[in-house]
Amino acid sequence: MPGMVRWIMRILIAGASGLIGTALSGALRSEGHDVVALVRRAPASPAEFQWDPAAGRIDDTALKGADAVVNLSGAGIGDRPWTRARVKELSASRLGATRTLAAAMARTDSPPAVFLSQSASGYYGNAGAAVLRENAPAGTGTLSRICVDWEAAAHEAPAGVRVVTPRTGVVLSRSGGALGRLLPLLRLGVGGPLGNGRQFWPWITLPDVAAAFSFLLSAPVSGPVNVCAPEAADVNSLIAQLATALHRPAALRVPAPVLRLVMGDLAEELLLASQRLEPAVLAENSFAWQHPSLAGAAAWVAGRG
């Protein structure tokens, strides 16, 4: 953003070892910031502090001198079938971590200036082809309810802390992430669209997620932020572009009934739901995407961009 002041910060990250956390930590360090991490095991270096979010315990010295706290903690949404117990775990892991961090901020004499606490595009539920800016209402599904509570927990941070809740879309990575199971199939030429493919997925590349989060630590914004690329794409277009970039066919469509039969509610909300996000806040604050177009993003995923 033109005229925006950048300074060296001490940044505490929960979930630093995950896909986004690893990329973000690297990006922040490359910018000269001091990055420290919260870990559940015994700390292995001075850059690590122990916590147990499920029990609400944290080493309060972790926040000493912290200018910002980034919360990426939570059980994997698509890792296991959505049994009743798993859904409870998905919610508890997010709310417990977020409330533990908010409470720790309230106990410190000098709270951080900003609390960037992850949310997700699932906030909006299945919205069809409607364009969703940050002021769009929440959906009614399981993910929507989790995201609403998750964001509310972030706002339990003490007064004076700028709270940002990025609603992140499908992260395109060269390995892992939302396409972790699909990419190997596409590389072999045996992948294809999911359902009718007309559902919109709000996508963004991993480098752009890291850059957006870094940007939001200093940008004068608060509240929800749609973290996705400016070019909207349905699943048919997304898969076709990836297959083209990989020089492979992508004709083996997986019908929606099969997905529902095998994966249940997880398929309905994670794979078949349609969310046409517009990154209005990022655009209005002059964020610059490295991969604004789907063609450029697909080339990057394929190793050619």
Domain assignment present for 133: yes
**Residue 288 domain-assigned?**
yes
Asked if residue 92 has pLDDT above 50, the reply is yes
Q: What is the pLDDT of residue 257?
A: 81
Q: What integer best gives the mean pLDDT of the chain? A: 91
pLDDT at 7 over 90: no
Contacts of 162 (CB under 8 A, 6+ apart): 113, 114, 115, 222
Q: Phi then psi for 37, rounded to 5 degrees? A: -125, 150
- What was the pLDDT predicted at 176? 65
* Percentage of the chain exceeding pLDDT 90: 74
Percent above pLDDT 70 for the chain? 95
Q: Where in the sequence is the domain holding 171, given as residue range(s)?
A: 10-301
pLDDT of residue 100: 98
Domains in the chain, number: 1
79 inside domain: yes
Look at residue 1 and tell me if it is in a domain.
no
| Residue in this structure with the two tokens 């700390």, named with its chain if needed | 43
pLDDT at position 77 over 80: yes
Q: 95-119 as b/e, with b when 16 or more CB fall inside 10 Å?
A: bbbbbbbbebbeebeebbebbbbbb
pLDDT digits (tens, 9 = 90+) for 278-291: 999 999 999 999 99
Which residues partner with 225 through β-bridges?
Answer: 166
Work out whether strand 223-227 and strand 162-168 pair parallel, antiparallel, or are unpaired: parallel
The model's confidence at residue 135, banded by pLDDT at 50, 70 and 90, is: very high
Which residues are within 8 A (CB) of 129 and not within 5 positions of it... i.e. 6 or more apart?
200, 274, 276
Q: For residue 147, give the 3-state DSSP assignment.
A: helix
Q: Read off the DSSP letter of residue 158.
A: P
What are 10-36's pLDDT values in tens digits? 999 999 999 999 999 999 999 999 999
Interval 142-151 mean pLDDT: 97
pLDDT surpasses 50 at 46: yes
Query: What 3-state DSSP class applies to 209?
Result: helix
Contact 203, 226 (CB under 8 A): no
pLDDT tens by residue, 150-208: 999 999 999 999 999 999 999 999 876 666 667 777 777 767 777 888 999 999 999 99
Q: Which residues are CB-contacts of 196 (< 8 A; sequence separation ≥ 6)?
A: 256
pLDDT tens digits along 205-222: 999 999 999 999 999 999
- Note whether residue 5 is domain-resident: no
State in Å, rounded, how far the first CA of the chain is from the last one: 24
Residue 4 pLDDT > 60, yes or no?
no
Q: Is residue 148 situated within a structural domain?
A: yes
Query: Rounded distance, CA 104 to CA 157, Å?
Result: 9
* pLDDT at 137 > cutoff 50: yes
2: in domain: no
CATH (domain of 109): 3.40.50.720
Between 188 and 121, where is the model more confident? Answer: 121
In this predicted model, what pLDDT tens digit does every residue of 241-281 receive, in sequence order? 988 988 887 777 777 787 777 777 778 888 889 999 999 99
Please check whether residue 244 lies inside any domain of the structure.
yes
Give the residue among 184, 202, 204, 198 at the shortest CA–CA distance from 235. 198
